[in-house]
């Protein structure tokens, strides 16, 4: 591609200035980047500090590096991109690839970093948290493998934020990000390049290399009996991707996709694909004749899969079923399936498939970054999390649209309904009933206290062997601990990753504080039981799990600590 000098400013040399800053507390990236209220990011120097610290943390590779920048298009993204441009240029970055209008899904960023062998990327998203001036914004750094920065890098960034005194910036370097093309600026005698790229092209090309698009097209646009899908982008970033892939490429009817315009506030909704926040999708599926439904979160890495009449596939079952059927997907036909993995709180459905296929199964802490090392070492092909994350080693992020294409590939090969696929799976492997209770935005102090007291209780040696009874069901404790993970590749240790109580019948209770909230504390209680009897695999999960839920509330005394009787969300 040739370089264009666009606009008068392009020919004039730019000079950076050093701005005296002040430190801010709490710029600690959580499970997935720094997430705070927009108003926090709007404070003087706040965003600038964090960007400077991300760049400084790149170290010797910073000078002359190329980064990709984009996000879910939420409120404050354009301002943040403007700041990134000005600070990156001042810090000797050679080139920025920026999604048109700042739009790039999280999976697309991962794909672009890997495809063009970039030094990393900055993603502007608070994922599934609501957006708008009164809601959340977020900044996340991905490293050169395309995945979220590991703890070592985020700790470095955090330590830098605690002592930053100033940042370098070029205040008058402006770039219009709405037009695709290349702009070149002269900065300190070197070229600084900004390339505005199409948001969808690279990702679409990758999907075409993974899936059999002709087969999917036959499924969705057959003249005889098309498989009717309803894809809901929840006004997040996936809209443009979904339109290109499902309408333009796979010829699905126009009414197969909804809410495909990314909005700065997601239309006032909560862009989290679950039964509560994607209630409109659930209703439409219940009322109309669709065979399949799916929704994604704000930045496009999470997915929810539904069958006809809104039959719900739990994320834990979703990865297990994908694992069982990977041979329906060309990508996995070309190279043998390596290992499988799930996050610790995710139900153990995939463990059964791993055993049956003789594949290694890894159990990692919550957070996609923990899968990356395993993938880079060639040990992992498919993984997932109960928090609606599903993905493979095609990139280093979870991938909502990939999950939908994977499910459609299985359906195209098996010619069965989603419900039938799930039922057959439970018949073969038994069913892992799973539910998660979220208590959002609790006060931090009592929440931390509850976790501390609970940890003391369950790690006391007399806790093992204790029996709990509820509704005539008895659960005996087999193991209880605070989950800790030693990365098999770099041997790094992640501690305090959730309190787990495992019972002799395979049931589990897990308590964790969320790492993605922007204020206060969110407590999650994960409840799982296993049923292998064919007469008991098709029951209502909430009912089946009620006795265990009661035991969890009783052991933790959670309700009295946080003074709530009901969870905010049940998924
Ligand atoms: C993000 C990460 C996921 C992780 C989730 C956990 O979405 O990308 O990998 O599972 O956060 O969120 P939590 O709020 O439970 O810490
Ligand atoms: Zn997300």
Name the helix (H) or strand (E) containing 353.
helix 349-357
Tens-digit pLDDT profile for residues 513-551: 998 776 789 999 999 999 999 999 999 999 999 999 999
User: End of a domain among 429, 446, 464?
Assistant: 429
**CA-proximal residue: ligand 1, atom 13 (nearest):** 514
* Ligand showing the shortest atom-to-Cα distance for residue 125: 2
Looking only at Cα atoms, what is the longest distance across the chain? 79
- Ligand 1 center to 86 CA (angstroms): 30
For residues 358 and 439, membership in a common domain is answered with no
367 touches ligand 1 (CB under 6 Å): yes
- Ligand 2 center to 303 CA (angstroms): 9
For residues 298 and 387, membership in a common domain is answered with yes
Tens-digit pLDDT profile for residues 212-259: 999 999 999 887 888 999 999 999 999 999 999 999 999 999 999 999
366 touches ligand 1 (CB under 6 Å): yes
Q: Is 220 helix (H, G, I), strand (E, B) or coil?
A: helix
Average pLDDT over residues 120-129: 96
100 touches ligand 1 (CB under 6 Å): no
Please give the pLDDT value at position 335: 87
For residues 284 and 152, membership in a common domain is answered with no
On whether residue 10 sits in a domain, the answer given is no
Full 3-state SS string of 124-174: ECCCCCCCCCCCEEEEEEECCCCCECCHHHHHHHHHHHHHCCEEEECCCCC
Strand runs (DSSP E) across 72-135, as ranges? 95-103, 120-124
- Ligand 1 atom with least separation from CA of 368: 9
For residues 191 and 269, membership in a common domain is answered with no
On whether residue 40 sits in a domain, the answer given is yes
On whether residue 265 sits in a domain, the answer given is yes
pLDDT band for 1, please (50, 70, 90 cuts): very low
List the single range of 7-16, 178-187, 319-328, 529-538 with lowest mean pLDDT. Answer: 7-16
Please give the pLDDT value at position 131: 97
C-alpha 571/C-alpha 566 separation (Å) is 13
Rounded to two decimals, what is the model's pTM?
0.93
On whether residue 476 sits in a domain, the answer given is yes
For residues 421 and 436, membership in a common domain is answered with no
516 touches ligand 1 (CB under 6 Å): yes
For residues 82 and 131, membership in a common domain is answered with yes
How long, in residues, is the chain?
571
CATH number, position 250: 3.40.120.10
- Ligand 2 center to 128 CA (angstroms): 5
* Ligand showing the shortest atom-to-Cα distance for residue 271: 2
* Domain range enclosing 562: 431-570
On whether residue 9 sits in a domain, the answer given is no
User: End of a domain among 199, 232, 264?
Assistant: 199
User: End of a domain among 429, 448, 480?
Assistant: 429
Count of domains for the chain: 3
264 within 8 A of 73, measured Cβ to Cβ: yes
For residues 176 and 163, membership in a common domain is answered with yes
* Ligand showing the shortest atom-to-Cα distance for residue 315: 1
For residues 217 and 169, membership in a common domain is answered with no
- Ligand 1 atom with least separation from CA of 397: 8
518 touches ligand 1 (CB under 6 Å): no
- Ligand 1 atom with least separation from CA of 387: 10
Please give the pLDDT value at position 9: 46
For residues 402 and 471, membership in a common domain is answered with no
315 touches ligand 1 (CB under 6 Å): no
Residue 32 annotated to the active site: no
On whether residue 1 sits in a domain, the answer given is no
For residues 327 and 464, membership in a common domain is answered with no
Question: What b/e readout covers 174-186, taking b as 16+ CB neighbours within 10 angstroms?
Answer: ebebeeeebbbbe
C-alpha 197/C-alpha 66 separation (Å) is 14
Regarding beta strands 485-486 and 493-494, do their DSSP bridges make them parallel or antiparallel, or are they unpaired? antiparallel
CATH number, position 522: 3.30.310.50
On whether residue 2 sits in a domain, the answer given is no
Tens-digit pLDDT profile for residues 36-90: 999 999 999 999 999 999 999 999 999 999 999 999 999 999 999 999 999 999 9
From the list 241, 277, 235, 237, the residue with the least C-alpha distance to 258 is 235
Catalytic pick among 105, 110, 127, 529:
127
On whether residue 3 sits in a domain, the answer given is no
C-alpha 143/C-alpha 120 separation (Å) is 4
Please give the pLDDT value at position 5: 41
For residues 37 and 91, membership in a common domain is answered with yes
The DSSP call for residue 535 is: G
End-to-end Cα spacing for the chain: 48
- Ligand 1 atom with least separation from CA of 127: 7
* Ligand showing the shortest atom-to-Cα distance for residue 370: 1
- Ligand 2 center to 278 CA (angstroms): 15
- Choice from 28, 375, 389 to test ligand 1 binding pocket (greatest atom count within 8 A of CB): 389
441 touches ligand 1 (CB under 6 Å): no
385 touches ligand 1 (CB under 6 Å): yes
For residues 30 and 167, membership in a common domain is answered with yes
């Amino acid at each position: 591609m040739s370089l264009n000098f666009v606009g008068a400013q392009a020919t004039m040399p730019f000079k950076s200035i050093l701005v005296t800053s002040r430190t801010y507390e709490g710029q600690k990236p959580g499970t997935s980047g720094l997430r705070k209220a927009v108003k926090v990011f709007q404070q003087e120097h706040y965003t600038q500090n964090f960007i400077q610290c991300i760049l400084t943390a790149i170290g010797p590779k910073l000078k002359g590096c190329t980064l990709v920048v984009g996000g879910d298009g939420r409120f404050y993204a354009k301002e943040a991109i403007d700041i990134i441009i000005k600070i990156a240029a001042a810090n000797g970055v050679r080139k920025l690839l920026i999604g048109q209008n700042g739009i790039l899904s999280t999976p697309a960023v991962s794909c672009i970093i890997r495809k063009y062998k970039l030094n990393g990327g900055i993603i502007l998203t608070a994922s599934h948290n609501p957006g708008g001036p009164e809601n959340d914004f977020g900044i996340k750094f991905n490293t050169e493998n395309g995945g979220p920065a590991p703890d070592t890098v985020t700790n470095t960034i955090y330590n830098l934020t605690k002592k930053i005194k100033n940042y370098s910036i070029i205040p008058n370097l402006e770039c219009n990000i709405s037009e695709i093309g290349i702009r070149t600026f002269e900065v300190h005698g070197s070229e600084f390049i900004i390339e505005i790229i199409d948001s969808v092209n690279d990702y679409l090309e990758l999907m075409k290399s993974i899936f059999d698009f002709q087969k999917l097209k036959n499924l969705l646009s057959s003249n005889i009996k098309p498989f009717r899908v309803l894809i809901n982008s929840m006004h997040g970033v996936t809209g443009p991707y979904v339109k290109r892939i499902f309408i333009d490429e796979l010829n699905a009817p126009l009414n197969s996709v909804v809410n495909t315009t990314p909005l700065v506030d997601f239309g006032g909704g909560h862009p989290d694909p679950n039964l509560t926040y994607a209630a409109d999708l659930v209703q439409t599926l219940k009322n109309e004749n669709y065979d399949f439904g799916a929704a994604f979160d704000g930045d496009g890495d999470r997915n929810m899969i539904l069958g006809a009449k809104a039959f719900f596939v739990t994320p834990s079952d979703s990865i297990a079923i994908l694992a069982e059927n990977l041979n329906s997907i060309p990508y996995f036909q070309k190279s043998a399936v390596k290992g499988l993995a799930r996050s610790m709180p995710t139900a153990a459905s995939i463990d059964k498939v791993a055993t049956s296929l003789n594949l290694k199964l890894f159990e990692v802490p919550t957070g996609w970054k923990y899968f990356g090392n395993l993938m880079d070492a060639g040990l992992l092909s498919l993984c997932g999390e109960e928090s609606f994350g599903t993905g493979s080693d095609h990139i280093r992020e979870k991938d909502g649209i990939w999950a939908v294409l994977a499910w459609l590939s299985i359906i195209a090969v098996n010619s069965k309904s989603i419900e039938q696929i799930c039922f057959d799976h439970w018949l073969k492997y038994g069913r892992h009933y799973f539910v998660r209770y979220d208590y959002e935005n609790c006060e931090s102090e009592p929440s931390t206290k509850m976790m501390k007291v609970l940890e003391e209780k369950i790690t006391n040696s007399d806790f093992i062997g204790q029996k709990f009874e509820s509704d005539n069901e008895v659960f005996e404790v087999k193991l209880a601990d605070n989950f800790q993970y030693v990365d098999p590749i770099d041997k790094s240790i992640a501690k305090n990753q959730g309190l787990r109580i495992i019972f002799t019948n395979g049931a589990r209770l897990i308590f964790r504080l969320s790492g993605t909230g922007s204020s206060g504390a969110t407590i999650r209680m994960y409840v799982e039981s296993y049923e292998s009897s064919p007469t008991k695999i098709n029951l209502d999960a909430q009912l089946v799990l009620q006795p265990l839920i009661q035991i969890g509330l009783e052991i933790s005394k959670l309700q009295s600590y946080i003074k709530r009787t009901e969870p905010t969300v049940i998924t």
